[in-house]
Amino acid sequence: MKKKILSIFLAAMLLLGLSACKTQQKESSSQIYAMDTIMRLTAYGSKGEEAIEAASELIMRLEHLWSVTDEGSDIWAINEAAGQWVSVTPETIDLLTNALVLAEETQGALDPSIYPVVRAWGFTTGDYRVPTQQELTALLERVDHSAIEVDAEGKRVRIPDGTKIDVGAIAKGAAGRMAAQLMVDLGVKSALLDLGGNIQPVGVKPDGSAWRVGVQIPNYEGTAYLAAVESTGRAVVTSGGYQRYFEMGGVRYIHIIDPTTGYPAESGLDSVTVVGEDGGLCDALSTAIFVMGEERGVQLWRDRGDFDLLLIRADGSILVTEGLEQSVMLADGYGDTKIDIAR
Ligand code: AMP
Ligand code: MG
């Protein structure tokens, strides 16, 4: 009899324990510095710690493949090959294949071969300067995404001698997507990967509710939020001039370059947030739509239908595409911000 009571007691304890696990899962987190930014990885559940370790390793490996300044990287090898074919990893083949499709689709607003122009402005070195028109005109002659050849079967890439590429506009999103997939493969059901403003969730929060991702007020001294977007697994990626810029002679020069002019993009937008299943696509599109502006960006949204947009215009007003209508909320104190909905 005593034994029976004990086993009922034990079973009850076990049940209690299990339900406690369900609502209060173990949280693991880690911070790494990669791809020029601080990344914060958080995962829930018993597999979280191991998955974060694996995801960190993956991100570091991708950084070594995709860095434009790291002499061992695939991108470095392509840039230094003086017009010859270069064998690269399957990850780089995928990255560049996707980039070229989007370069085509955005009529070159996204162009990995913009690198010499980005460098001339000092954005890779920190030696900021305003290049002359003559210099920019000469550099722009080398900017042409259609000259990048990707041989997917042979796993090799070739660019003309003098052309240089950089994947800074697309690498973090692709890394986030791959890290999230790795976590899913390792059994993680709930995680939030913050790759320096590229937010890549896995599933929903441990309590079953949506993640809330803040959208920053552009051009703000410090960090403050204008709105939040709810996500149940979709990536939320923002591009904005405020993320990297320098000032000279009272003028602000931002790091996103319009490949048609060689000058920092001026499309009337202060930030572009793209929300979608594919974090790699979101990263590429946030940069491209920042260059393209509202009209062309919304047109692309209509044409593709696989992402949503939150645009902050230079006048402070917001445009969201209808898929976000129910999941955007304004931050306290900004409730009277004008929001237009694109349908
Ligand atoms: P993101 O923060 O994703 O918008 O990417 C911006 C980074 O991409 C810049 O710091 C540059 O390294 C690079 N970049 C700037 N303009 C372009 C462009 N039009 N196409 C592709 N890459 C660009
Ligand atoms: Mg981008």
pLDDT band at 197 (very low <50, low <70, confident <90, very high): confident
Give the model confidence (pLDDT) of 46-98 as tens digits: 999 999 999 999 999 999 999 999 999 999 999 999 999 999 999 999 999 99
DSSP class of 111: -
Q: Report how far ligand 2's centroid is from the alpha carbon of 216 (Å).
A: 16
- Which residue's CA is the nearest one to ligand 1's atom 23? 169
Q: Report how far ligand 2's centroid is from the alpha carbon of 287 (Å).
A: 4
Q: Report how far ligand 2's centroid is from the alpha carbon of 328 (Å).
A: 21
At 1 the pLDDT is: 38
Atom of ligand 1 nearest to the CA of 257: 16
Q: Report how far ligand 1's centroid is from the alpha carbon of 326 (Å).
A: 30
276/279 Cα distance (integer angstroms): 7
Mean per-residue pLDDT, 216-235: 95
- Which residue's CA is the nearest one to ligand 1's atom 7? 169
0.85 cut: is pTM over it?
A: yes
Tell me how many helices (H) and strands (E) the chain has.
Answer: 9, 17
DSSP track, 9-78: HHHHHHHHHHHHHHHS--EEEEEEEETTEEEEEEEESTTHHHHHHHHHHHHHHHHHHH-SS-TTSHHHHH
pLDDT band at 4 (very low <50, low <70, confident <90, very high): very low
Radius of gyration of the chain (CA): 22
Give the model confidence (pLDDT) of 304-320 as tens digits: 999 999 999 999 999 99
Is residue 180 scored above 80 in pLDDT? Answer: yes
Mean per-residue pLDDT, 120-131: 96
CA of 108, nearest ligand number: 1
Is residue 43 scored above 60 in pLDDT? Answer: yes
Q: Report how far ligand 1's centroid is from the alpha carbon of 246 (Å).
A: 15
25/57 Cα distance (integer angstroms): 24
Atom of ligand 1 nearest to the CA of 290: 4
Mean per-residue pLDDT, 290-305: 98
At 23 the pLDDT is: 57
Contact 169, 287 (CB under 8 A): yes
The pick from 119, 287, 289, 291 for probing ligand 1's pocket by mutation, whose C-beta has the most ligand atoms within 8 angstroms, reads 287
Pairing of strands 339-342, 318-321: parallel
Residues contacting ligand 1 via CB (< 6 Å):
110-112, 114, 118, 123, 166, 168-169, 239, 243-244, 255-257, 259, 283, 286-287, 291
- Which residue's CA is the nearest one to ligand 1's atom 6? 169
**Mean pLDDT of all residues in the chain?**
93
Instruction: Give the per-residue SS3 of 283-326.
Output: HHHHHHHHHHCHHHHHHHHHHHCCCEEEEEECCCCEEEEHHHCC
276/278 Cα distance (integer angstroms): 6
Contact 310, 320 (CB under 8 A): yes
Q: What angle do CA 337, 341, 343 make, to 5 degrees?
A: 175
